[in-house]
Structure 1
Amino acid sequence: MSSFDPAGMLEEVFPVALLNNYQDTLYFDLVVVTPLLSIAAFLIFALPWTLLAFFDPKPLQRFKIQQKPFQVRKYFLPNIARITINTTILIALMTLLWPLFRHINSIHLGEVPAWYIVIGQLTFFVILDDFLYYWMHRSMHQRWILKHIHGVHHRIKNTCALDGNYFHWVEFVATGLLALLPPLLVGAHLYVLYIWIIIRQFEAADGHSGYDIPYNPVKLIPCYHGAIYHDFHHAKFKGNFSGFLSYLDGWMGNTYIPSYLNYLSNRKKGIAPAEANENNR
């Protein structure tokens, strides 16, 4: 009776040279660890905000951007399902493409660069990714793409942090690959890529939190206005296309949502979010 030999069966079906591509240590670090780290970081950032939205405590309701119930109960399980399915699809696609991708890959496990180079690279990643995302996001509001792909994300009008990864799988994969492009361009160290992915998922969670908390330290980041910027995109649908840095909507055709600008004006006068949005209607 012959013994079962899965390795031998694989070699009969696939060329040895093809299988050898997956012996590269970067395959596991890039294709498997990176997406899993990305989702783990997102959940760490998103779940506390989502729990807050679930209980919606009365003392914090005045800081809600939209004075209407969050949609946590309706979308919590669909969120978890989409995150799980989309991450699986991303890993499967990257696995399939790895024999080609590894030949153009510049991400490495060599010497870790000096701290100031890391800071410079991360700054470049944020700026380039946001520029590219602006145009991808804006194009996704074309009728066909909006109806069949991007409309999934827009099912949620009053977002909580977990909604930051509620996507059609095509948009999920496109967003992930877009975030990978800046590190590929500079030949980043794998650990710098990991830091960047964590930052990118912080953007996704914070931008969908649904709260405009005063003295939020992340608002010290230039051109970042916190969750209010993207929240208006979900509420009003058109405009505010940037993912993180709001200046692009001013530079690329003044695509700001007018009510968002009015809201900012009210907030500068010291008006609380609830009243600022009420005055904005």
Structure 2
Amino acid sequence: MEQVWNTTVSTVLDWCGGDERLLFTVLFLLGSAGTFYLVNLVFAVFYYFDLFPNKRIPRPLGIKPESPQTIRKALIHVNAVILSSPIGMYFLYDLYKWRGMDMTAPLPGFWKTLGYLAVSLVVEDTLFYWGHRILHHPSIYKHIHKQHHQFHACVGIAALYAHPIEEVVANFIPTYSGCLISGCPLSVMVLWSFLRLWETVDAHSGYAFDWSPWNLFLTIQGGAERHDFHHFQNKGSYGSFTKFWDWVCGTDEPYYQWRREKKPAIVAALNKAKAL
């Protein structure tokens, strides 16, 4: 792993003419865009060939896939977000450098890397929950967060389909503030980007695989079904990586009530429809 990182840094630094600011920007783009497109490509294959139908999250029969027009609009928006984000990172280089970020160092030891990731997870989980919950306030929702909720039946690209204000307040700042606070090396930031984007695409995918690392510890994480419920019911379950703040504030109760009272009937109706 260290050799791969060193080779990558050396190659990219040569491409950038030795400019460390460009190195920071390019590696951020490769880590974030590469993850987003790769994971979405895998799920796109699943959608297109209708693979693993038994792993699709059960939704009420009235929740239909989004129209091709909505998908195209989301793709254009998401590509613009992905390709423009390095511009912001180019100018944020000085801030991360001031916090002590080493741009060329490989991943530190296991426990130190785990510590850096833990800081990012706690910061992201907290800022995302409260930013997301505020965006659901009736006086704000229709102006900003409603765009993201155009997807009632989620697919992976919906993860980054959001109003520009939401992109900054509820996505970018929660995701990358932990790296700034901890002063972690760029290698950890790239690893964190990979994990965070993988998790959010998985949560919006419409699939719930038992082997997915984001569905292994449901008492802590909640899994993809929980966020899918948030989209087709548009209430509760505001957290991302963990259920901690939803548990503290009781905002997961609508989801648990749905699982107890409505999910069995939905599953039965879906099975009946498939049998016809």
Is the Cα–Cα contact under 8 Å of residues 227 and 237 in structure 2 kept in the other structure? Answer: yes
Q: Comparing 141-150 with 225-234, which one deviates more in the overlay?
A: 141-150
1:241 paired with 2:238, answer yes
Aligned with residue 53 of structure 1, among 24, 47, 50: 47
Q: Comparing 27-36 with 225-234, which one deviates more in the overlay?
A: 27-36
1:197-246 deviation per Cα after TM superposition (whole angstroms, max 9, x unaligned): 00000111110111234454532246123211111111111211101212
User: Within 2, Cα distance between the matches of 1:192 and 1:72?
Assistant: 38
Aligned with residue 192 of structure 1, among 178, 188, 191: 188
Aligned-residue sequence identity (percent) comes to 24
Is the Cα–Cα contact under 8 Å of residues 183 and 193 in structure 1 kept in the other structure? Answer: yes
Cross-structure match for 1:31: 25
User: Within 2, Cα distance between the matches of 1:148 and 1:190?
Assistant: 35
Cross-structure match for 1:274: 267
Residues 162 and 127 (structure 1 numbering): CA distance in 2 closer, same or farther, change over 3 Å? same
Aligned with residue 65 of structure 1, among 55, 58, 62: 58
TM-score normalised to structure 1 length: 0.76
User: Within 2, Cα distance between the matches of 1:165 and 1:141?
Assistant: 17
Residues paired across the two proteins, number: 251
RMSD between superposed Cα atoms in Å: 3.1
- Aligned residue for 1:39, secondary structure, equals helix
User: Within 1, Cα distance between the matches of 2:133 and 2:113?
Assistant: 30
Cross-structure match for 1:107: 101
The aligned amino acid for 1:131 is: T
Is the Cα–Cα contact under 8 Å of residues 32 and 194 in structure 2 kept in the other structure? Answer: yes
Aligned with residue 227 of structure 1, among 221, 224, 246: 224
User: Within 1, Cα distance between the matches of 2:213 and 2:88?
Assistant: 37
User: Within 2, Cα distance between the matches of 1:199 and 1:272?
Assistant: 34
- Aligned residue for 1:196, secondary structure, equals helix
1:112-156 deviation per Cα after TM superposition (whole angstroms, max 9, x unaligned): 421111122213322221111101111111234322221110111
Cross-structure match for 2:85: 90
Residues 65 and 168 (structure 1 numbering): CA distance in 2 closer, same or farther, change over 3 Å? same
| Structure 2: gaps of 5 or more residues | 1-15, 272-276
Is the Cα–Cα contact under 8 Å of residues 233 and 257 in structure 1 kept in the other structure? Answer: no
Cross-structure match for 1:4: none
Q: Comparing 78-87 with 147-156, which one deviates more in the overlay?
A: 78-87
User: Within 2, Cα distance between the matches of 1:69 and 1:54?
Assistant: 16
The aligned amino acid for 2:129 is: Y
The aligned amino acid for 1:132 is: L
User: Within 2, Cα distance between the matches of 1:114 and 1:103?
Assistant: 21
User: Within 1, Cα distance between the matches of 2:240 and 2:91?
Assistant: 29
Aligned with residue 143 of structure 1, among 134, 138, 142: 138
Cross-structure match for 2:274: none
User: Within 2, Cα distance between the matches of 1:189 and 1:96?
Assistant: 17
Cross-structure match for 1:81: 76
User: Within 2, Cα distance between the matches of 1:61 and 1:103?
Assistant: 47
Q: Which runs of 4+ in 1 moved over 6 A?
A: none
| Structure 1: gaps of 5 or more residues | 1-21
- Residue 44 of structure 1 deviates from its aligned partner by 1.2
The aligned amino acid for 1:189 is: P
Cross-structure match for 1:118: 113
1:43 paired with 2:37, answer yes
**Which protein is bigger by CA-based radius of gyration?**
1
Is the Cα–Cα contact under 8 Å of residues 215 and 224 in structure 2 kept in the other structure? Answer: no
User: Within 2, Cα distance between the matches of 1:272 and 1:28?
Assistant: 54
- Aligned residue for 2:221, secondary structure, equals coil
Aligned with residue 206 of structure 2, among 207, 210, 233: 210
Counterparts of residues 121-132 of structure 1 (less than 5 Å): 121-132=116-127
Aligned with residue 177 of structure 1, among 153, 173, 181: 173
- Residue 37 of structure 1 deviates from its aligned partner by 2.2
- Residue 98 of structure 1 deviates from its aligned partner by 4.9
